């Protein structure tokens, strides 16, 4: 269908018509949506070259394509590069579009987000707090972009170790996100996922498992069984089962999840793939096979250091887990 549409547009409008470039950009975006992040980036880059030549570097459509390149680069797991791309884009957006344009606010969102994903939690929280105030001023309290900012503040409170603050924030947010976005909207489901997560982090493992198992039913109904957030819930359920005394079941579920995540991301070094390997190593240690767990953790530590950096909290957590096992 797309091939026929493009052929018709080329015949009628010519290779440089903006409508053809828009169709090519949509095809590139759809490629990312089906999970081929690297190919999406390459297709968008080809569109970008033509847009810069035909429309100019400052055209909003050209800037939008640069945003798509950054977005799919991040989904592919290249955190340092995605942050650089968004920061470069923001400077041009501010010059062309102005500080209150929605695209500018979205770029600020992703800059804050990727600082957090790189473990720079204080920076991420400060940027998200500032962005929240600006989004409320532009959109009002109930806009979906305000919901995004509140969700990310809760996220990085939790990632920075402030688990009670994160749980309190998500519990406060849940009725608002249900009202604004709906019961089965991905945002609502994500808030529920994090309420379950931090319920467990704060010691109520059985309560957390019950919340996760209720959640995954709704996630599969709303999102489908192969959705990325369904895989997060699968990971959480497996880890909780191990911590509640059933490591054999947990290990089988994590090994299946590793296969699914590797296939879904198409990148064995994606942070979520490495996270699954870390979970497998922890559960192997619970079964008593310390030597195998140590071997797994060494590989995870090296890969996290390469992907995330030596000082990233996930790298340091892996090193601490390894040292604890070696110490006996």
Would the pLDDT of 138 be above 90? Answer: yes
Spatial CA neighbour of 283 closest among 244, 315, 234 = 244
Would the pLDDT of 30 be above 70? Answer: yes
> Please, which pLDDT band fits residue 163 given cuts at 50, 70 and 90?
very high
Would the pLDDT of 208 be above 80? Answer: yes
Residue 131 sits at φ, ψ, to 5 deg, of -65, -40
> Please, which pLDDT band fits residue 308 given cuts at 50, 70 and 90?
confident
CA gap 225, 205 in Å, rounded: 24
The pLDDT tens digits of the residues spanning 249-287 come to 999 999 999 999 999 888 899 999 999 999 999 999 999
Across all residues in the chain, what is the average pLDDT?
Answer: 93
The pLDDT tens digits of the residues spanning 95-126 come to 999 999 999 999 999 999 999 999 999 999 99
Would the pLDDT of 290 be above 80? Answer: yes
Would the pLDDT of 178 be above 80? Answer: yes
Which pLDDT belongs to residue 251?
Answer: 97
Average pLDDT over residues 7-13: 54
Average pLDDT over residues 62-88: 94
If phi over 0 gives left and psi between -120 and 50 gives alpha, with beta otherwise, what is residue 203?
Answer: left
Average pLDDT over residues 226-251: 96
User: Is residue 190 within 8 Å of 200, Cβ to Cβ?
Assistant: no
Would the pLDDT of 5 be above 60? Answer: no
> Please, which pLDDT band fits residue 72 given cuts at 50, 70 and 90?
very high
- SS (HEC) of the chain: CHHHHHHHHHHHHCCCCHHHHHHHHHHHHHHHHCCCHHHHHHHHHHHHHHHHHHCCCCCHHHHHHHHHHHHHHHHCCCHHHHHHHHHHHHHHHHHHHCCCCHHHHHHHHHHHHHHHHCCCHHHHHHHHHHHHHHHHHHHCCCCHHHHHHHHHHHHHHHHCCCHHHHHHHHHHHHHHHHHHHCCCCHHHHHHHHHHHHHHHHCCCHHHHHHHHHHHHHHHHHHHCCCCHHHHHHHHHHHHHHHHCCCHHHHHHHHHHHHHHHHHHHCCCCCHHHHHHHHHHHHHHHHCCCHHHHHHHHHHHHHHHHHHHCCCCHHHHHHHHHHHHHHHC
Q: At what angle do helices 228-243 and 186-201 cross, to 10 degrees?
A: 20
Which pLDDT belongs to residue 63?
Answer: 96
Average pLDDT over residues 234-247: 97
Spatial CA neighbour of 129 closest among 106, 146, 104 = 146
pTM for the model stands at 0.77
Would the pLDDT of 15 be above 70? Answer: no
> Please, which pLDDT band fits residue 14 given cuts at 50, 70 and 90?
low
Which pLDDT belongs to residue 6?
Answer: 54
Which pLDDT belongs to residue 77?
Answer: 84
Both structure tokens of 63: 């800037």
Give the rounded percent of residues in the chain with a pLDDT score beyond 70. 95
Average pLDDT over residues 170-181: 96
Which pLDDT belongs to residue 9?
Answer: 54
């Amino acid at each position: 269908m797309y091939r026929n549409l493009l052929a018709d547009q080329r015949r009628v409008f010519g290779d440089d018509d903006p409508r053809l470039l828009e169709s090519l950009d949509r095809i590139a975006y759809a490629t990312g949506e089906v999970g081929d992040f690297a190919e999406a980036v390459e297709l968008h880059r080809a569109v970008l070259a033509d847009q810069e030549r035909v429309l100019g570097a400052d055209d909003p459509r050209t800037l939008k394509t640069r945003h798509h390149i950054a977005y799919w680069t991040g989904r592919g797991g290249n955190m340092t590069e995605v942050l650089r791309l968004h920061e470069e884009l923001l400077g041009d957006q501010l010059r062309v579009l102005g500080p209150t344009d929605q695209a500018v606010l979205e770029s600020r969102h992703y800059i804050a987000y990727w600082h957090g994903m790189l473990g720079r939690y204080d920076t991420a929280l400060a940027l998200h707090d500032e962005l929240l105030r600006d989004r409320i001023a532009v959109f009002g309290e109930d806009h979906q972009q305000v919901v995004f900012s509140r969700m990310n503040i809760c996220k990085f409170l939790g990632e920075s170790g402030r688990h009670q603050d994160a749980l309190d924030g998500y519990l406060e947010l849940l009725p608002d996100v249900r009202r604004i976005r709906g019961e089965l909207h991905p945002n609502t489901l994500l808030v529920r996922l994090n309420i379950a997560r931090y319920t467990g982090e704060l010691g109520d493992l059985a309560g957390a498992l019950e919340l996760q198992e209720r959640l995954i039913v709704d996630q599969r109904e709303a999102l489908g069984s192969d959705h990325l957030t369904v895989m997060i819930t699968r990971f959480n359920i497996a880890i909780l089962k191990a911590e509640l005394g059933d490591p054999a079941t947990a290990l089988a579920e994590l090994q299946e999840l590793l296969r699914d995540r590797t296939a879904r991301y198409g990148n064995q070094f994606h942070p979520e793939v490495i996270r699954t390997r870390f979970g497998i190593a922890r559960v192997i240690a619970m079964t008593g096979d310390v030597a195998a767990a140590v071997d797994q953790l060494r590989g995870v530590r090296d890969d996290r250091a390469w992907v995330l950096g030596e000082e990233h909290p996930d790298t340091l957590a892996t090193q601490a887990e390894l040292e604890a096992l070696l110490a006996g």
